[in-house]
């Protein structure tokens, strides 16, 4: 698996840019607030995408599915033991028009011929980023070429599909306040926004620091100054709080499901959850179920 990789702060002059790239083992995604940029999902397994108010689609191996920015969605794999899901995040003022004009912005998954070649291109891009060998302007060119190649590889029978149309997106990229002249505060605002957007992903503090143009040490100093915690502690507490909120909404869920929802390994999740809330998530689930039963008993005639 290729860990979640963010690129640096986008150059405002770029009409199209790479926001993130990576792959993950088959696990569920739940994004009620959507994603800040267009997401191109490439599947080596099989699962189900659901977009509230639009529909539910099965996505099989060798297929592409695109989700617009700001659109709530979730993905449930049919198997957690096999398969892989790749993702490419694309932003920029021209992202929508490029995807529409190439016929890729449609409402259902489409088959890609030569899928493994496209997958290989995606992994090569990830390795180039990981090694620090690709600049933002170069990745913009590579992404444009990759979109053209995907469009050319798309099954001809899908060409006439209807587009998704416009969405009420929160913006094509995470932005930071133009009213603040303090670059440190701007970087901190963007770092916090990235953490809240990507708490489910394999996001490391180094990735966040790279994306906002600061060293890990400098970013940690900013977090200490404003929140009295390190960046890692902030991100960990955010994940634990999101897990607790998710368990409130899913009282019958398992501890493993809660850990996967916030991108944490289950044993580590249990230890950190107990340290943060004073009880294990298992006890918390039991307590929630008891409350549900008591409410049901009170309503019974």
Contacts of 42 (CB under 8 A, 6+ apart): 63, 64, 85, 86, 87, 88, 112, 115, 118, 119, 122
Percent of the chain with pLDDT over 90: 38
End-to-end CA gap in the chain: 54
Return the pLDDT at 160: 34
Q: What is the mean pLDDT of the chain?
A: 82
| Spacing of C-alpha 242 from chain mean position | 15
Query: Greater confidence, 182 or 142?
Result: 142
- Give the pLDDT mean for 177-184: 53
> What's the rounded mean pLDDT across residues 283-295?
68
CB 123 within 8 A of CB 2: yes
pLDDT of residue 121: 87
H or E element, residue 76:
strand 73-77
Cα→Cα distances 124→6, 22, 117, 212, 246, Å: 15, 11, 11, 23, 35
Q: What is the pLDDT of residue 297?
A: 56
Region 261-289 average pLDDT: 86
């Amino acid at each position: 698996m290729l860990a979640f990789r963010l690129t640096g702060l986008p150059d405002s002059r770029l009409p199209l840019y790479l926001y993130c790239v990576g792959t993950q083992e088959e696990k569920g995604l739940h994004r009620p607030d959507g994603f800040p940029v267009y997401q191109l999902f490439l599947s080596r397994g099989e699962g189900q995408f659901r977009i509230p108010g639009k529909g539910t689609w099965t996505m099989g191996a060798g297929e592409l599915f695109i989700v617009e920015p700001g659109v709530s969605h979730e993905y449930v794999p049919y198997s957690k033991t096999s398969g892989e899901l790749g993702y490419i995040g694309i932003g920029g003022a021209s992202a929508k028009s490029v995807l529409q004009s190439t016929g890729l912005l449609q409402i259902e998954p489409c088959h890609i011929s030569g899928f493994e070649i496209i997958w290989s291109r995606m992994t090569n891009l990830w390795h180039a980023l990981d090694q620090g060998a690709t600049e933002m302007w170069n990745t913009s060119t590579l992404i444009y070429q990759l979109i053209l190649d995907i469009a050319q590889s798309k099954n001809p029978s899908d060409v006439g599909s209807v587009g998704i149309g416009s969405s009420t997106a929160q913006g094509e990229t995470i932005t930071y306040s133009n009213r603040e002249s303090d670059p440190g505060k701007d970087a901190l605002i963007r770092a916090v926004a990235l953490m809240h957007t990507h708490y489910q992903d394999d996001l490391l503090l180094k990735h966040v620091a790279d994306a906002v143009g600061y060293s890990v040490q400098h970013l940690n100093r900013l977090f200490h100054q404003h929140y009295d915690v390190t960046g890692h502690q902030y991100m960990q507490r955010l994940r634990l709080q999101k897990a607790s909120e998710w368990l409130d909404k899913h009282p019958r869920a398992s501890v493993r499901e809660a850990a996967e929802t916030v991108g944490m390994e289950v044993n580590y999740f249990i230890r950190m959850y107990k340290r943060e809330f004073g009880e294990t998530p298992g006890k918390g689930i039991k307590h929630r179920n008891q409350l549900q039963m008591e409410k049901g008993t009170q309503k019974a005639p």
